[in-house]
Structures are given as structure tokens and as C-alpha cells.
Structure 1
Amino acid sequence: MTTPSYHLAHFSWGTLRAPFDDPKITTFAEAVPRVNARAEASLGFVWRFGDERPPAEAAGWPLFDDERVIASYSIWETPEALKAFVYNGSHGAFYNKRAEWFDQDAPRGYVLWWVVPGHNPDIIEAWSKVDQLAAEGPSDAVFTFAQLAPSAISDQS
């Protein structure tokens, strides 16, 4: 068995239609712990930031002035593992219903980048990748699934 030289980091954010504690968001809010537990049990999962809604005093939060914006970031062994989680199973079911809970006309998106195994990015690094993707577009350094940088996928040690 080979060990990948890189893991895939993922950071995503979206704007809820209402604050997290609003009854309009209850179904989504109540599912978050279950979906996170499934992520952690998924094949290829490495790490995730522990709380999409950290305390106000946490570095970098809130990401936006709007309290409806939530974010998540995680590390996966491969793009295939992350894709399988995002688009299939319980997360996939919620992803397909995202218009019920997320404002489709408000800030949202995601960015991917390679990290060495054992490195867990902080919010400053994650947000810098968002800025880099917005400023420079997809590259080997930052990308989306549509522009997946191939340079580290097959790199084995």
C-alpha cells in the first residue's frame, strides 16, 4: 500500500436563508451533527474543523458580517473520497436540497488545495485560498473539482 504525498484540503461556505437558530433552518441545523459524523466515518476522511459555527472569539469568525454565513473545511485522502461524501449518501441528499436552506443569490462557494499529510489548515490559510482562487483563478495551487490540479493526485511515496 502506498501513502499519498498529498491530501486534499477543502473549504466551503454558504449563506443560509435565515439565522442558524431560525425554525426555517431547523431540519438542516439538526442534521449537521449526523452529517459530520458520517463524514468522519467516510472512507478517505482525514480531518475536519470541529465546528462550523465556532465561538465569536475564534480567529477569523465571523467570516462575513452576515451571521447567516456558515463554513466548513476538511482534509481528505483523495478527491474521489471527498466527491463520494459530498455528492452521495446523506450529505448528497442534503446537497440536493440546498436551495431550501441556502440563499442561492448570496455569497457561497468552495476551494480545494493540496496539503502534506498531517497539516491541518487554520481559517487564515483557508480564507487565503479563497482569495487566491478569486484573484488568480484555478491553478495547481488552488482549484475546484472542475479544474482539479493533477500534479499531486498520482504522486506516491
Structure 2
Amino acid sequence: MTAPIRHLAHFSWGTLRAPVDDPQITTFAEAVPRVNSRAEASPGFVWRFGDERPPAEEAGWPLFDDQRIIASYSIWETPEALKAFVYQGSHGAFYNRRAEWFDQDAPRGYVLWWVAPGHRPDITEAWSKVDKLATEGPSDAAFTFAQLAPAASSGKL
């Protein structure tokens, strides 16, 4: 078996309906460690950033001035592995209930991009991919599941 040429990086963010310590967010907040544990045990999982809401000073992103905004980023072997985790199992069950905890009219979204195996993106890289997707649209450098760029044609990292 040959080593993968690329891994898939994922960054997502959403705005909670209330602060994370508010009772209406309790079910979601209490499930995060369990769901993260299941992610780490999922087929195709490679790595995830351990802090669910990077501090604004690290992120350099005004979005994080709002304490209701949380984010996560991770690395997966394939898009199929990430999709299976996101849309099925325990994460899928919580994803289907996202309107209970997340403000659907507030900042939210995700971006995907290819990375070399072993690479661990920081928040600056993740933000640059969000910006690239927002300003230039989907490309080999930043995309979504709907416009998945092939790993083999992703060119320079």
C-alpha cells in the first residue's frame, strides 16, 4: 500500500444561539468531548486541533470577538472519511439538530483544502483558506464538498 499523496484539511465555524455556558447550549457543550473522542477513533481520522474556540488574539480574526463563535479544524485521509464522520453516527445526529444550538443567520461555514501528510495547519492557514474561498470562490486551493478538488490535481500546497 502506498502512502497518500494528500490529506484533507477541514475548518468549520458556527455561531451558537447563546454563550457556551448558557443552559440552552448544555446538551451540545456536554457532548463535544464524546463526539471528539469518536472522531479520533473514526476510520480515516488523522488529527484535530484540540481547542474548540481559538482565542481571538491567536486567530487574528474579528469573528472570534463574539464569544458564541466556535470553530474546529482537523485532518482526514479522504473526503469520504470526513463525510462519513460529519453526516453519520453521533456527529451526524448532532449535525441534524444544529438549528437547536446554532444561529442559522449568523456567521458559519466550512472550507476544505489538501495538505501534505504530516502537515498540521494553524489558525492563520485556516483563515487564509476561508478568505481565499470567500474572495476567489472554489479552487484547487480552497473548496467545499460540492466543489471537491481532486487530490492529484491540487498542485502546490
| TM-score, length-scaled by structure 1 | 0.92
**What secondary structure sits across from 1:71 in the alignment?**
strand
- Cα deviations by residue, 1:14-47 (Å, 9 ceiling, x for unpaired): 0000000000000000000000000000000000
On the 8 A contact 2:46/2:76 being kept in 1, the answer is yes
The 3-state SS of whatever aligns with 1:43 is: coil
Quote the Cα distance in structure 1 between the aligned partners of 2:94 and 2:60.
25
Q: Deviations over 1:101-152 (max 9, x none)?
A: 0000000000000000000000000011000000000001110000000143
1:19 corresponds to which residue?
19
Partner of 1:59: 58
Q: For the aligned residues, what is the CA RMSD?
A: 1.7
Normalization by structure 2: what TM-score?
Answer: 0.92
Matched AA of 1:19: P
Q: Quick one: structure 1 residues 131 and 83, their matched pair in 2 at CA, closer, same or farther if it must change by over 3 Å?
A: same
Q: Secondary structure at the match of 2:38?
A: helix
Matched to 2:85, the amino acid is F
Residue type of the alignment partner of 2:143:
F
| Residue segments in structure 1 that go unaligned for 5+ positions in a row | none
How many residues were matched structurally? 153
Q: Is the 8 A contact 2:6 2:115 kept in 1?
A: yes
Query: 1:130 matched to which residue of 2?
Result: 130
- The aligned residue for residue 116 of structure 1 is 116
Given that 1:49 and 1:72 are in contact with CA atoms closer than 8 Å, whether structure 2 keeps it comes out as: yes
Match of 2:59, as an amino acid? G
Q: 4+ runs of 1 displaced by more than 3 Å?
A: none
Name the CA distance, whole Å, in 1 between partners of 2:11 and 2:150.
Answer: 19
1:40 equivalent in structure 2? 40
Task: Give the distance between the partners of 2:8 and 2:37, measured in 1 at CA.
Answer: 19
Give, in whole Å, the separation in 1 of the partners of 2:34 and 2:5. Answer: 30
Q: Deviation at 1:53?
A: 2.8
Residue pair 2:6, 2:151 contacting (<8 A) in 1 also: no
- Which runs of no fewer than 5 residues in structure 2 stay unpaired? none
Q: Which residue of 2 aligns with 1:103?
A: 103
More helix by share: 2
